[in-house]
Structure 1
Amino acid sequence: MEIRPFQIHVAEERLADLQRRLRATRLPASLARDAWDDGASLSFIERLADHWQDRFDWRSQEARLNRLPQYKAAIDGLDIHFVHQPGTGPAPLPLVLTHGWPGSFIEMEHIIPMLADPAAHGGDPADAFHVVVPSLPGFGFSQAPARPGTSSRQIAELWLGLMRGLGYERFGMQGGDIGAGVSTWLARMFPGNVVGVHLNFIPGSYRPPTGAGFPAVTAEEQAFLDRAASWAGSEGAYALMQGTKPLTLAYALTDSPVGLAAWIAEKFRAWSDCDGEVERVFTMDALLTDISLYWFSDAIAASLRLYKENRLRPLTFEGGERIAPPLGVALFPRELPMPPRSWVERVFEVGRWTIMPKGGHFAAMEQPALLADDIRAFFRPLRSPS
């Protein structure tokens, strides 16, 4: 596998085009400028667009991100972008961190050094990891698939190829959102390569076997299923759209930067532990760095398409199938509906189940230190004796 160093550099004409489009923005009418009941607040999006046009400095964000050791590699016909931060410690364990939507590899910016060099962040050097953070195909600077069929299952195969190409035959997996699905698929298909899996989200399509011959659904499990169904009815329209007609939506979000910003920023507010005030957790610059990455890389169409691919290939289990590598779960209080431990244990060997004190869906951005501590604790007994 050929590995090439990579640095981000957005062409000046792309920056100029963004400014032109921001100046030409047409905003919709709103029944209540400050309310979020109908979607992204008009007053917030006006402020976000104003900041993007007049105060946001992409070049400074680009320079900061370029301090991360980034590379590209051709894997099964796709050019995959990734960060590879070697660990500092006596025997670092290789670890893949996989992001989701509407996030990106930059979600992991602050947690990477905590995991790679724990001693520099108040931890034990024996807990060090060789950290690998790939960008999902079609996200960020990874090439988008040119044909249908690339779901989280196929991405798991790409990640195995990447890790083997880096010289890592045994490694840990960690992820949330779509990254949780990729991590689970890899452990399911290639258990001999996976030391353990740590998740901060249980994939929405996860369904263990139930019915005749299996334990009855408990009251706690049924309450979760009811809660998840209620959430899908009130908050899940985005996933239905992305999972059925992603291209129709992509026309608008590819053409309008403010439309893209509204579609993404609304999720950062709704899914984070911010009590309705998104700027309590994410600065305007942090939001716009992620949104700009989608804009400059033309990533939105492929990222939406992945929802359809995953709908067509859900994470369902039949018979007595179980996932062999041990699982650790960190439950953040403002995460999307999460199942009880018993529901997860129908398939997984759960080794750690941690109720976190604060944080939401974007755990690596919101609470990197808490997440890093739980990852270290989960993998500590799984490391090979030195």
Structure 2
Amino acid sequence: MNHTDTLIPFRIDIPEADVVELRDRLAHTRWPVPVPGRDDPADFSRGIPLPYLAELAEHWRDGYDWRTREAELNALTQFTTVIDGQTFHVVHVRSENPDAVPLLLNHGWPGSFVEYQLLIPLLTSDFHVVIATPPGFGFSTPLSSTGWDLARTTDAFAEIMTRLGYARFAVHGTDIGSGIAGNLAAAHPDRVIGVHLGVDRAVLGLVGVVFPRPEGLSDDETAQLAAVQAASAAERGYLEMHNHRPDTIAASLADSPVGLLAWIAEKFKTRTDDGHRPPVVDRDQLLTVISVYWFTRSGASSIQFYYESEHTTRGLAMASEVPTAWAAFDSHPLIRRAMEPANAIGHWSDFTEGGHFPAMEEPELLAEDLRGFVTSI
């Protein structure tokens, strides 16, 4: 890799003109003509309903305060650094505990480093917390080239930990961040002291697609799996677009704030509120996540990560010799059957609470599980 080892202090400073432009674009949204019968803001059966989207957009325009959220994020120590020509954004919050363990937190789409904002203060008594933003996401922009797939990103994250002075460290990940976490352990087993992965029942939708189907399922278990997979199939339209045609949706995500809002907010709604538990993601934190995508134009560039990782021979990997933990939120009995049929993982936690974004939904549960796992190793 051609790079320098410089870590450059970074602060978020969105120009006021950009904030004003966002509000102006929201005020002049060209809304779809309402479809008769589609007036229930809780009905996501055809995607995000117009009444729900319009109310959220109105709050983003008139009720949400970006400057307050920007100041809160700037309370975190941040850097940028360049690796192989690509700028990476890094949050680094050191613990006052001299024996603290370095912990790298990895997020996926449509998350961002903002996803871990509530979790960080719950961890710093025991961990030096690092959040490295994948290329094309957030402030790890613009993309320097094509080819930033899972494996290349993994190597860059290992280099970031080196630059921060951490020879050994623990890793946590959710969504595609769990892929980065697993690959880090596989590629650098001498450096990764433990891998902690967060999942939710949506992972069952990938059984038979990405993960093998468990053997010996009863008729009832087969029916349960089929029900989850049917719901998941309705959610995967974005995934096929990202994996194969990211440039087609990219223009809309960069040009229309309401288009970006619909594309991301739908996933936060359906993956944190599936009908049997109340949504717990703070609305303003959600809008901060989306605002970062908007101001950095990373709605378009972040989805390239899917294409690159789909079109590579260097895919997911795990290291059997590195201690591994799983925390299943909004859990389902079949998750462990599908993801860990050997029943060999010593630290497995099932939680009825939470969902796809546990750091935003149940930060206390996630922090305690992380702490318990790392203490055990």
Q: TM-score, normalised by structure 1?
A: 0.86
Q: Where does the alignment leave 5 or more consecutive residues of structure 2 unmatched?
A: none
SS in 1 for 2:102: strand
Alignment match of 1:141 (pick from 134, 139, 142): 139
SS in 1 for 2:121: helix
Q: How far apart in 1 are the matches of 2:192 and 2:223?
A: 32
SS in 1 for 2:346: strand
Shift of 1:170: 0.7
Q: How far apart in 2 are the matches of 1:74 and 1:282?
A: 33
Q: Which residue of 1 aligns with 2:39?
A: 33
Q: How far apart in 1 are the matches of 2:311 and 2:102?
A: 31
**In the alignment, is the contact (CA less than 8 A) between 1:242 and 1:304 conserved in 2?**
yes
Shift of 1:171: 0.6
Classify 1:162/1:322 alpha carbon distance in 2 versus 1 (closer, same or farther; 3 Å).
Answer: closer
Alignment match of 2:355 (pick from 333, 343, 360): 360
**In the alignment, is the contact (CA less than 8 A) between 2:172 and 2:195 conserved in 1?**
yes
Q: Which amino acid aligns with 1:7?
A: R
Q: Which residue of 2 aligns with 1:291?
A: 290
**In the alignment, is the contact (CA less than 8 A) between 1:138 and 1:303 conserved in 2?**
yes
Alignment match of 2:103 (pick from 79, 91, 95): 95
232-241 or 106-115: which moved more?
A: 232-241
Q: Which amino acid aligns with 1:263?
A: W
**In the alignment, is the contact (CA less than 8 A) between 1:207 and 1:316 conserved in 2?**
no
Q: Which residue of 2 aligns with 1:270?
A: 270
Q: Is residue 2:340 matched to residue 1:380?
A: no
Pairs aligned (count) = 361
**RMSD of Structure 2 on Structure 1 (CA):** 2.7
261-270 or 200-209: which moved more?
A: 200-209
SS in 2 for 1:160: helix
Quote the sequence identity (%): 38
Q: How far apart in 2 are the matches of 1:349 and 1:75?
A: 37
Shift of 1:225: 6.8
Shift of 1:16: 2.0
Q: How far apart in 1 are the matches of 2:354 and 2:273?
A: 5
Shift of 1:283: 3.3
**In the alignment, is the contact (CA less than 8 A) between 2:86 and 2:144 conserved in 1?**
no
**In the alignment, is the contact (CA less than 8 A) between 1:75 and 1:158 conserved in 2?**
yes
1:207-226 equivalences under 5 Å are: 207=210, 217-219=215-217, 226=226
Q: How far apart in 1 are the matches of 2:247 and 2:331?
A: 30
Q: Where does the alignment leave 5 or more consecutive residues of structure 1 unmatched?
A: 118-127, 211-215
Q: TM-score, normalised by structure 2?
A: 0.88
Shift of 1:323: 2.8
Q: Which amino acid aligns with 1:302?
A: S
SS in 2 for 1:192: coil
Shift of 1:219: 2.0
Q: Which amino acid aligns with 1:30?
A: V
Q: How far apart in 2 are the matches of 1:248 and 1:229?
A: 27
Task: For residues 247-289 of structure 1, give each alpha carbon's deviation from its aligned partner in whole angstroms, at most 9, with x where no partner exists.
Answer: 10111111110111011111111001474897x4133322211
SS in 2 for 1:9: coil
Classify 1:226/1:148 alpha carbon distance in 2 versus 1 (closer, same or farther; 3 Å).
Answer: farther
Shift of 1:146: 3.0
SS in 1 for 2:70: helix
Q: How far apart in 2 are the matches of 1:66 and 1:95?
A: 20
SS in 1 for 2:115: helix
**In the alignment, is the contact (CA less than 8 A) between 2:136 and 2:304 conserved in 1?**
no
**In the alignment, is the contact (CA less than 8 A) between 2:105 and 2:131 conserved in 1?**
yes
